[in-house]
C-alpha cells in the first residue's frame, strides 16, 4: 500500500457518518430500486426502495447522476451493513433550517393554504406543513360563528397567504406562522392615514349581534348598533348585509388596539328633521306608551321620536301615579304643548286635549264605555263630567 492510498484510506476512516446527521451528497446511480449517493465516507449511502416508493414522483423523476442532495443518515450499524440514508428526511431537515433562517430574518413568505381545522389554517412550507392559528389569520372577518369560520376557511384552500414564521421547533414539530405579523405594519400605516371625522365608503365584512364590521381598505371598523340607524330593529342584519357598500364617518381611532369606531347614523337624515317639518305646537296625534316613570310617561310619536308627558298633564281626575294609569304598549291620544328644537324634546299633554277630540277618538277606536269610566286601549281613565252629564 503506497503512502497516498494510505492517506486517502485514513481520511475515509475518519469520516464516520452519525445517525441523524445531514450530509450533502452526490448522486452516483439511480434505478427503480435504489439511489446510490456519495457522502464522502468509506461507504456510499443507499436510499432504500421503501423510501423511493414514498417520494414525490416529480422529485424522483428529476434526480440525476451528479446532483447534489442533502441526505439524512438513518443507519450506521457497522462497516459491513448498508449505510442507509434518506432524501426525504434530508430535505425536511433542510426546510427546518431554512425556517429558522426565515424566523431570524423576519422574512415575509407567500405560502399555499392546503387544509384547515377548527384552530386555523395548514400551509405548505417546502416539505413541511406549517400552521396559522385563527387569531393570526390576516383579513379574517371578525365576529364569525363556528360554522361561518369553517366555511370561510374552507374557501381559502388553494389560495396563498402572506405570513412570517413566529415559532420554529423541529423536535416538537412546531412550525407556526402569522399573517397578522405581516399585516400589522400595513395596518398601523393605514390607521395613521385615516382621520377622525373623515367620511369614507367601505364594505360590510361581517354582521354580528352588536353591530357591523366594515372593511376600509386594509383595516376593519365597527358600527355599533347605537350608531347604525334611526330605525328600530331587532338585529343589525335588518339594516346591513355582508358585502353591502356603506358610507360611514370615522368616530374614533385607537391605533394601539387597532380599533376604529364608525358612525352611519349621523349621515342619515334623522327623524327629528321630518318631525319638526310635519308637526307644530298644538297638534294632536296618536302615540304609543313605551316607558313609564314616577314622573310621567314616554310616548312614541313617530319612528325615532318620543315625547314626554308629565304627571301634571294626565287627564283630570286620574291618579298621580302613571304606573296605575298606563301600561307599556297602550295607544293614547296626546297634544303637543312644546317642541324644543335646540334640545330635541317634545312635551305632551292629555289634560289639554279638547273633550270632543277625546270622545271622537274613543268612538273611532270602538272602545266600549260604561257609566263610570271608559277604557283607552287598556288604560282605564275616568270620563269627564261634561261627557256623562
Cβ distance 237 to 200 under 8 Å? no
Res 191: pLDDT: 84
Res 80: pLDDT: 55
Which of 6-10, 23-27, 161-165 is predicted least confidently?
6-10
Q: pLDDT tens, 337-364? A: 999 988 889 999 999 999 888 888 888 8
Q: pLDDT tens, 269-319? A: 788 888 888 999 999 999 999 999 989 999 999 888 899 999 999 888 767
Residue 385 confidence class, pLDDT cut points 50, 70, 90: very low
Res 2: pLDDT: 53
| Burial 232-252, CB ≥16 within 10 A → b, else e | eeeebeebbeeeeebebbbbe
Res 366: pLDDT: 63
In the three-class reduction of DSSP (H, G, I as helix; E, B as strand; rest coil), residue 230 is classed as coil
All domains in the chain, ordered by first residue: 3-92 (2.40.50.140), 106-182 (2.40.50.140), 196-267 (2.40.50.140), 271-388 (2.40.50.140)
Task: Return all residues near 169 (Cβ < 8 A) that are at least 6 apart.
Answer: 175
Model-wide pTM > 0.85 = no
- Average pLDDT value over all residues in the chain: 81
**Helix (H) or strand (E) segment spanning residue 39:** none
Residue 217 has pLDDT above 60, yes or no: yes
Distances (CA, A) of 60 to 47, 93, 367: 11, 18, 91
- Which grid coordinates are listed for 167? 415559532
| Burial (0-12, 13-18, 19+ Cβ within 10 Å), 35 | buried
Residue 231 confidence class, pLDDT cut points 50, 70, 90: confident
Residue 208 has pLDDT above 80, yes or no: yes
Cβ distance 168 to 100 under 8 Å? yes
Residue 227 confidence class, pLDDT cut points 50, 70, 90: very high
Q: pLDDT tens, 160-191? A: 988 889 999 988 889 999 887 666 566 777 88
Res 386: pLDDT: 34
Task: Return all residues near 279 (Cβ < 8 A) that are at least 6 apart.
Answer: 285, 301, 336, 339
Residue 50 has pLDDT above 80, yes or no: no
Residue 24 confidence class, pLDDT cut points 50, 70, 90: confident
Which of 62-71, 95-104, 224-233 is predicted least confidently?
62-71
Q: How far apart are CA 376 and CA 365, in angstroms?
A: 8
Q: What integer is the mean pLDDT of 16-38?
A: 79
Enumerate long-range contacts of 311-314, CB under 8 Å, 24 or more apart: 312/351, 313/337, 313/347, 313/348, 313/349, 313/350, 313/351, 313/352, 314/350, 314/351
More confident residue, 53 or 377: 53
Task: Return all residues near 388 (Cβ < 8 A) that are at least 6 apart.
Answer: 371
Torsion of CA 199, 203, 205, 210, to 10 degrees: 40
More confident residue, 287 or 2: 287
Q: What integer is the mean pLDDT of 242-267?
A: 90
DSSP class of residue 217 equals: S
Res 152: pLDDT: 86
In the three-class reduction of DSSP (H, G, I as helix; E, B as strand; rest coil), residue 170 is classed as helix
**Helix (H) or strand (E) segment spanning residue 357:** helix 355-365
Q: Is 362 left (phi over 0), alpha (psi -120 to 50) or beta?
A: alpha
Amino acid at each position: 500500500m503506497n503512502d497516498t492510498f494510505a492517506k486517502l484510506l485514513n481520511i475515509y476512516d475518519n469520516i464516520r457518518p452519525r445517525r441523524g446527521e445531514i450530509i450533502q451528497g452526490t448522486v452516483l446511480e439511480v434505478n427503480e430500486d435504489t439511489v446510490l449517493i456519495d457522502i464522502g465516507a468509506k461507504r456510499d449511502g443507499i436510499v432504500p426502495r421503501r423510501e423511493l416508493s414514498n417520494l414525490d414522483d416529480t422529485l424522483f423523476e428529476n434526480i440525476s447522476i451528479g446532483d447534489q442532495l442533502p441526505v439524512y443518515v438513518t443507519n450506521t450499524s457497522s462497516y459491513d451493513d448498508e449505510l442507509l440514508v434518506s432524501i426525504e428526511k434530508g430535505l425536511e431537515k433542510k426546510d427546518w433550517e431554512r425556517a429558522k433562517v426565515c424566523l431570524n430574518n423576519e422574512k415575509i413568505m407567500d405560502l399555499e393554504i392546503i387544509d384547515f381545522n377548527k384552530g386555523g389554517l395548514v400551509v405548505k412550507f417546502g416539505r413541511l406543513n406549517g400552521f396559522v392559528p385563527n387569531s393570526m389569520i390576516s383579513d379574517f372577518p371578525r365576529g364569525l360563528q363556528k360554522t361561518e369560520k369553517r366555511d370561510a376557511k374552507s374557501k381559502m384552500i388553494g389560495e396563498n397567504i402572506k405570513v412570517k414564521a413566529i415559532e420554529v421547533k423541529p423536535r416538537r414539530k412546531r412550525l407556526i406562522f402569522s399573517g397578522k405579523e405581516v399585516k400589522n405594519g400595513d395596518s398601523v400605516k393605514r390607521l395613521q392615514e385615516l382621520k377622525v371625522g373623515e367620511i369614507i365608503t367601505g364594505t360590510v365584512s361581517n354582521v354580528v349581534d352588536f353591530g357591523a364590521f366594515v372593511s376600509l381598505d386594509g383595516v376593519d371598523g365597527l358600527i355599533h348598533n347605537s350608531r347604525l340607524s334611526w330605525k328600530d330593529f331587532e338585529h343589525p342584519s335588518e339594516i346591513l348585509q355582508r358585502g353591502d357598500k356603506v358610507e360611514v364617518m370615522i368616530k374614533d381611532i385607537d391605533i394601539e388596539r387597532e380599533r376604529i369606531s364608525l358612525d352611519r347614523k349621523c349621515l342619515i337624515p334623522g327623524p327629528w328633521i321630518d318631525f319638526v317639518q310635519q308637526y307644530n305646537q298644538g297638534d294632536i296625534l296618536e302615540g304609543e306608551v313605551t316607558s313609564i316613570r314616577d314622573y310621567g310617561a314616554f310616548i312614541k310619536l313617530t319612528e325615532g321620536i318620543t315625547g314626554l308627558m308629565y304627571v301634571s298633564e294626565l287627564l283630570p281626575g286620574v291618579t298621580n301615579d302613571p304606573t296605575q294609569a298606563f301600561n307599556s304598549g297602550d295607544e293614547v291620544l296626546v297634544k303637543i304643548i312644546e317642541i324644543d328644537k335646540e334640545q330635541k324634546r317634545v312635551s305632551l299633554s292629555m289634560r289639554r286635549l279638547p273633550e270632543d277630540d277625546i270622545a271622537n277618538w274613543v268612538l273611532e277606536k270602538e272602545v266600549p264605555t260604561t257609566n263610570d269610566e271608559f277604557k283607552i286601549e287598556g288604560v282605564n281613565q275616568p270620563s269627564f263630567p261634561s261627557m256623562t252629564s
